[in-house]
Structure 1
């Protein structure tokens, strides 16, 4: 057991070193990385598609890397926006790691990229433990997933610097309890910003891009105080309570709208 725990600690320590190096490399070139975590079917790709199209419309150089266990469907969809997109097939691995990400970006990421969006494998457990060198970590949940999602996955929601609620156009039909969801977010991540979005009606459109650019320009993203438990990568981190002034999430609405996987630069293929 001790040997297994030591190995997991070593893996995480190696990953953290790679993440710090990648974050420094990206900062030196003026690029900010944004990681997106969610369960499958949350609407992550639909939201990202909207943000990429908006960035292109505004002339903001962005790129996206999307990871899946199989198929290049998401990357092909995102590539239609006209921005550089790379697909990563993890061949069964349930998460990305920083050293993997550095390898995928080498020789591919355009030099003028201001924001790199990284869409992790659809999974709220494994990806939560791995720093990818991002400067903004975003966790998404759709209104169809239940208000207790933050309590079931405290690692993913507790480490988030921004929480996006998706598919709000069907919130009434799904019986989504907004207040309960916000209270549950506050329990695992006091003070984090929560934004409600809909890819269909445009609610929250552009918020993700705006937050990413703000962080790139020096804004301080909300950073929960975290610690790991038992050194186990499968054990979610513990959220340490913040001051009473930050006891509630900041809710915002916007009416306007390992295997060795191989990278696939889909944008160049289409």
Structure 2
């Protein structure tokens, strides 16, 4: 009787991606550059958070942004409009960014002149957390209109995060979002990951985000994101 031969393509692809991500991370670290990977569902406020971050840090650090979408340059155009270098990755059918895409995105950047690269990953709560982009830290964004049950439905995202932003707190009671319930659920999945409530629209809470982020930028060995299976 012939044995069935199983070809584990997914494991092979992920292993290759992880190796490329490690190389990219080490390359960026050698130039003193920190790569931040922002992950969330569409519409949670990733671009708005990037703009607030730029506003707070641009006088102290040199920043570039990589925008990833299935199509369009809408978000990259918003970043470029405030005078920050922006590269657009159009992923086509891909629902996430891989290390090879980031390698291509940083090609041509003067890494010695940069301190921070911010990746706005594709809007997706699953596969963006499964693929190493070469980032040193990963931050998940949740927003009041999405509801506080997202950590229950998409645990993989919140396990992968070094911190969790809760955006659009200005919605208040209109969104029926239980902040403490979200905090408890995230604590179960990822003990120690800080939860930072803020409003990109009003600016409330942004200082706490910057206070958390800035030591990562200054660190000579900022760490690495661990993708989740």
TM-score after normalising by structure 2: 0.91
Question: In structure 2, what is the equivalent of residue 249 of structure 1?
Answer: none
Residue aligning to 1:9: 11
Change (3 A) 1:86 1:175: same
The residue correspondences of 1:1-270 to structure 2 (distance < 5 A) are 3=6, 6-56=8-58, 58-218=59-219, 237=229
Question: Are the counterparts in 2 of residues 158 and 188 from structure 1 also a CA contact under 8 Å?
Answer: yes
Q: Is the 8 A contact 2:163 2:194 kept in 1?
A: yes
Segments of structure 1 that go 5 or more residues without pairing to the other structure are 229-235, 238-270
* Inter-partner Cα distance in structure 2 for 1:221 and 1:151: 29
Does the Cα contact within 8 Å between 1:26 and 1:32 map onto a contact in 2?
yes
Q: Deviations over 1:152-177 (max 9, x none)?
A: 11111101001000000002211111
State TM-score, norm by structure 1: 0.78
Deviation of 1:122 after TM superposition, in Å, equals 0.3
Structure 2 alignment gaps of length 5 or more: none
- CA root-mean-square deviation: 2.2
Cα distance change on mapping 1:17 and 1:222 into 2, 3 Å: closer
Q: Deviations over 1:209-242 (max 9, x none)?
A: 4434312333887989x7x8xxxxxxx54xxxxx
Q: Which has the higher mean CA deviation after the structures are superposed, 44-53 or 154-163?
A: 44-53
C-alpha offsets along residues 19-62 of structure 1, whole Å, 9 cap, x if unaligned? Answer: 11111100100000000000001011111111112222x24101
The separation in 2 between residues aligned to 1:189 and 1:60, in whole angstroms, is 30
Q: 1:206 to 1:221 in 2, by over 3 A?
A: farther
Q: In 1, distance between residues paired with 2:121 and 2:224?
A: 20
Query: Are the aligned partners of 2:135 and 2:224 in contact in 1 as well (CA < 8 Å)?
Result: no
Contact 2:32 2:115 in 1 (8 A): yes
| 2:156 match: secondary structure | helix
- Contact in 1 for aligned 2:136/2:223 (Cα 8 Å): no
SS in 2 for 1:11: helix
Cα distance change of structure 1 residues 125 and 215 upon mapping to structure 2, 3 Å threshold: same
Alignment partner of 1:12: what SS?
Answer: helix
